[in-house]
Chains A and B, each alone.
Chain A
Amino acid sequence: MIRLEDVQKTYPMGETQVHALRGLSMDVSPGEFVAIMGPSGSGKSTLMHLLGCLDLPGDGTVRLDGRDVTHLDEDTLAQIRGKKIGFVFQTFNLIPTLTAQENVELPLYFQGVHRLQRSTRAEELLKKVGLEERIHHRPSQLSGGERQRVAIARALASDPEIILADEPTGNLDSESGETIMQFLKQLNQEGKTIILVTHNPEAAVYAHRTVRIKDGRIWENFTPKQSVLNTNGSASVRLIQQEEDHVA
């Protein structure tokens, strides 16, 4: 589905160049739930931007469904994002002047979908995330957990194949965070490919596979034992911690 081939990315920072990614290759298969972990400065955000077609690599190739997107112009990339990728951000990133419903409609608006179709779809999705009572509220009138649910509904608006979630639980209390992760899990079960960027092991345990990044390279790529997940799907932090120690 998404394939990165030897991608490199450097940023100028003052006089020096920061090597955010140093020749990284990875594959994400359809229907996968991948967690990308790594300390800050590891290149995790840069990787997420490349996976989400928000940025292009300095070197190497990014393929989406076999198509090389590396040389596409910004507007074409925007169209691809709008249709194929749904974003969920740590800071929710809802438009403050728009209601929950209008925020959800936004991706469809940019695709030129008719107003009636948009609003029907938005209502349907807000119902799905349990916010049918809140469709006309502004983001400022919603709690953090509710805002992130609106963001999930927005990510689903154009029925994309991939959901890219960047620290979706980072600004939430553990209960709301749990709800959000359950939603992502459910979406994965419904067939969506989920890419989760996080440094929270509790969130990462929902993934089928964890990719650890360090210094712009893949440091570890592993599939946790099934035993890591208990029956209700919540994480066992201790076990993950052990894995980490083991690798170190």
Chain B
Amino acid sequence: MLLDTIRLSVRNLRQRPKRSWLTIIGILIGVSAVVALVSLGEGMQQSINKEFEAFGYNVIMITGHGDHRLGTGALAGANTFKLDIAPLREIVGVQAADGVLIKTPYVSAGKREGYLMTWGMSSELMQAFPAYYTPETGRIFKSEERQAAALGSQVAQDLGLSVGGKFTIETQEFEVVGILEKRNDPDVNYAIFIPIQTMQQLVDEKERISYVLISTAKGADLKQVVTHIKHTVEAQRGKNDLNVHTTEDMRDLMQNLVGILRVALAGIASISLLVGGVGIMYTMYTAVLERTREIGVMKAVGARRRHILTFFLLESGFMGLVGGLLGTLSGLAIAVGIKFLAPLVIEGTSLEVGFSPVLIFGVLSFSFVLGALSGFFPARNAARLAPVEALRYE
């Protein structure tokens, strides 16, 4: 019985293909916008997670007050400060601790030049994050080396440098000893890494650092270590003027930001979905008007209200469902397209597409329900038509 009704509804839609398709396109656009944005958002959160996992959740940072708490790169370290790191290394659970100094000095390699982000780091610190600072070719500089540099993959390409190549930062010459693997974190891909002592002297920031990076031993009680570090830092400086936080804090902060962005974007996209629903409503009102006489005939030969209601609800629901299905496909296609296009438009961006079955199932059922809901009032009008009035309708 239901199958027959579905068959009839589909046939009615195919009877006016142009209008049905236009209505479906309305839903399609809304659904693709939602699916594309949500998938990209999901992918963004996944890749953030992946980056933080590579960096390790057992990491603690000390940054200057007023500094942005996000990221390890350009955003951190505008205000440099002095801190004696040695006592921190004594704290139980701390594996490695060292300062990092970030600046954008003048860099040149042959005819290529520019102000590029340069990180002063100790060899030990870099080696404490082997999964993050991984040489693709060559190696990380050794602790006794002073004029050696490791380059992010993108900066190496931009400067046209490979292992063994020479370039200049401000007044000093450096040799490339390694090029790092490409990461999803553009901070790394665009960075030049040199020994911190050379860096401090080069930019005239003697003993000063942008932040402290601390890695802890596996199984260490992170909270306890953080508390110890806070005490140590406060005792040393006589005041509580630095931030101590974990990677987990940072990840949560970023996830929250992306999450808010995602909800906001999906909300905006939902508006177009709503407009699609209004489109269905309009089409169904027209259909009811056009088929008034038909409704009268059906009622004359014994159709009850629920029969008429079901016919029209299925029709509108079906338009929603087809729109949802095609919209999901095109939304995913758009998301994948953006993933490939984004790095071409904005250098250094890297996006992931999160493919979530829950999302797809949700979108499909939502679009069917949206279609049926939009068709509800027109269908109810149709069902309530008096048979005599409907038969008389020209």
Contact = CB atoms under 8 A, between A and B. Distances in A.
B359 interface: no
Interface in B380-394: 386-388, 391
A55 B307 contact: no
A52 interface: yes
Contact of A54 (B15, B307, B388): B388
Given A54-B387, A95-B297, A112 B304 contact: no
A49 B4 CA distance: 30
Nearest to B12: A97
Nearest to B14: A97
A89 B298 CA distance: 13
Contacts of B300: 52, 54, 81, 87, 93
A82 B307 CA distance: 13
Given A55-B388, A97-B12, A112-B1, A106 B304 contact: no
A115 interface: yes
B302 A83 contact: yes
Given A54-B388, A55-B386, A95-B298, A110 B305 contact: no
B37 to A, nearest CB: 39
A5 to B, nearest CB: 20
Contact of B301 (A49, A97, A115, A154): A154
B391 A110 contact: no
Interface in A39-93: 49, 52, 54-55, 74-75, 78-79, 81-83, 87, 89, 93
B302 to A, nearest CB: 2
Contacts of A154: 301
Contacts of B304: 74-75, 78-79, 110
Contacts of A112: 1
B206 interface: no
B302 A81 contact: yes
A107 interface: yes
B216 to A, nearest CB: 71
Contact of A93 (B11, B386, B388, B391): B391
Contact of A49 (B15, B293, B388): B388
Contacts, number: 71
Interface in B11-63: 11-12, 15
A97 B11 contact: yes
B131 interface: no
A183 interface: no
B207 interface: no
A78 B299 CA distance: 6
B302 A82 contact: yes
B187 interface: no
B298 A110 contact: yes
Nearest to A52: B300
A139 to B, nearest CB: 11
Contacts of A74: 304-305, 386-387
Contacts of A93: 293, 296-297, 300, 391
A23 to B, nearest CB: 20
A197 to B, nearest CB: 13
Interface residues of A, number: 29
Contacts of B11: 97-98
B67 interface: no
Interface string B1-14: 10010001001100
A186 interface: no
B181 interface: no
A112 B301 CA distance: 13
Nearest to A93: B297
Contacts of B185: none
A54 B391 CA distance: 10
A118 to B, nearest CB: 9
B83 to A, nearest CB: 81
Contacts of B302: 78-79, 81-83, 107, 110-111, 158
Contacts of A78: 299, 302-305, 387
B248 interface: no
A157 B391 CA distance: 20
A220 B386 CA distance: 31
Given A95-B294, A97-B11, A97-B15, A106 B388 contact: no
A74 to B, nearest CB: 7
A82 B304 CA distance: 10
A78 B309 CA distance: 14
Nearest to A112: B1
A49 B15 CA distance: 31
Interface in B270-302: 293-294, 296-302
Contacts of B303: 78, 82, 110
Contacts of B1: 112
A110 B293 contact: no
A71 B302 CA distance: 18
Contacts of A97: 8, 11-12, 15
- Most chain-B Cβ atoms within 10 A of its Cβ — which of A55, A83, A94? A55
28 contacts: A52-B300, A74-B305, A74-B386, A75-B306, A79-B302, A79-B304, A81-B299, A81-B300, A81-B301, A81-B302, A82-B302, A82-B303, A87-B301, A89-B297, A93-B293, A93-B296, A95-B294, A95-B297, A96-B15, A97-B12, A97-B15, A98-B8, A107-B301, A107-B302, A110-B301, A110-B302, A112-B1, A154-B301
Interface of B: 1, 4, 8, 11-12, 15, 293-294, 296-307, 386-388, 391
Given A95-B294, A112-B1, 11 more contacts: A55-B387, A74-B386, A75-B304, A78-B302, A81-B300, A94-B297, A98-B11, A110-B302, A110-B304, A111-B302, A154-B301
Interface of A: 49, 52, 54-55, 74-75, 78-79, 81-83, 87, 89, 93-98, 106-107, 109-112, 115, 154, 157-158
| Shortest beta-carbon contacts, A-B, top 6 | A82-B302, A107-B301, A110-B302, A75-B304, A93-B297, A55-B388
